[in-house]
Amino acid sequence: MILLSPTIWGEILKHVDAAGKPYGIVPIKNPAIFSMTAAFAVGIVVSLLTPEKDAQEKFEVEKLRTYLGVGAE
């Protein structure tokens, strides 16, 4: 998104409108608020849709090691 913002698209690549003002396909100069939110949302959705098959078993083994100290030598 930053590549299509006025910061890169307009100021660096010199795309200007009829009034001489730099413009970009994405209308905000720093679209991080949208792209970071989208990245977190996609990460959460993907992690919920693709659970690890043996995660519960690994958790139980780790919980046992935590409680009893087994394997912490």
Q: How many other C-beta atoms can be found within 10 angstroms of the C-beta atom of residue 6?
A: 20
Domain boundaries, the chain: 2-54
Answer yes or no: pTM beyond 0.75. Answer: no
Rounded percentage of the chain residues whose pLDDT exceeds 70: 95
pLDDT digits (tens, 9 = 90+) for 37-49: 999 999 999 999 9
Q: 27 falls in which pLDDT band (50, 70, 90)? A: confident
pLDDT of residue 71: 65
* Rounded-to-integer distance, Cα 21 and Cα 6, Å: 9
- Decide if pLDDT at 11 tops 90: no
What are residue 14's phi and psi, to 5 degrees? 60, 40
Mean pLDDT over each residue of the chain, to the nearest integer:
86
Is residue 58's pLDDT more than 70? yes
Q: What are phi and psi of 13, to 5 degrees?
A: -85, 0
CA 15/CA 63 separation, integer angstroms: 58
